[in-house]
Amino acid sequence: MAIIAVLNPHPGVGATTTALNLLAAIARRGQRPLGIDLDPRGDLTRAFGIRAPLAEDSVCGFFAHGQPLGDIAQISRSGVVLCPAHADLAAVGARLGKGIDVVTRLRRALRKPNAVTGPVVIDCGPGLGVLALNALFACDRLVVPVSGEEAARDGAGQVERAVAALEPVLKGKLPRHYVLTRCDVGSVAATDDATERLAERVPRAAICAARIRESDELAASLAAELDIFRHAPESAGADDYLALVDELVGAGLT
């Protein structure tokens, strides 16, 4: 069982798009993944067409009241099981503190015997607060989407430094995969330049060969509350996310 966190503290880099389509791509490989939306904005929750009218029906119920993840999980139209977010997550995160028992709460829940049977993908919101720390402690693989803006590369650098600081506590290496998103399909030079600039902040070997090209279909799929495979299965976006999953599998994702 793989637990993947999708995180970049800078907003607008395509993190939710990546979490959505990783879940969908994993499902297309015949597995039943679990999604966990830790972003108070709830973009992943909406993208799967799921609603959590009350805070206790969402991940808030897990963090604030100790509800089992299975009790708040919902099955989406695409067959992916999701623990939805709620706007109150922002307040819950602020109240929790950052003690070791708090930041390992999600890890303990996911690693209980028979808690989950398939891969898990955790979508994190911007920032490196207690919810993101829960994802970092819980995951065994980290995917960091990085768009072309300088601030997005700075966010990737923040993640790299945070993980390096946490690894002594984790007692092991946390594999991370930096994936370029919103790449210009018409400019190989621009994409190569973005790779070089990113390599100034993170290990070059951790930068994925798979790249997510800018496409109207990806943007439209989110607006339509569909993953790219249901919205435009023949599109470049669908090809790119399948290539990313194949690369992660080759790197040890099971």
The predicted-structure confidence for 135-158, as pLDDT tens digits, reads as follows: 999 999 999 999 988 999 999 999
Is there a contact between 125 and 13 (Cβ–Cβ < 8 Å)?
no
pLDDT at residue 186, rounded to an integer: 64
Mean pLDDT of the chain: 90
CATH, domain range 3-250: 3.40.50.300
Measured at the CA of 175, the angle between CA 240 and CA 172, to 5 degrees, comes to 170
Q: Please determine, for residue 55, whether its predicted confidence score (pLDDT) is greater than 70.
A: yes
DSSP 30-76: T---EEEE--TT-HHHHHTT----SGGGSHHHHHHH---HHHH-EE-
Q: What is the pTM of this model?
A: 0.94
Q: How confident is the model at residue 171 (pLDDT cuts 50, 70, 90)?
A: confident
* Cα 143 from Cα 178, distance rounded (Å): 6
* Cα 44 from Cα 48, distance rounded (Å): 6
Q: How confident is the model at residue 250 (pLDDT cuts 50, 70, 90)?
A: confident
Distance of CA 49 to the CA centre of its chain: 18
The predicted-structure confidence for 4-13, as pLDDT tens digits, reads as follows: 999 999 988 9
Classified as helix, coil or strand, 185 is: coil
β partners of residue 5: 122, 142
The predicted-structure confidence for 191-236, as pLDDT tens digits, reads as follows: 788 899 999 999 999 999 999 998 899 989 988 888 999 999 999 9
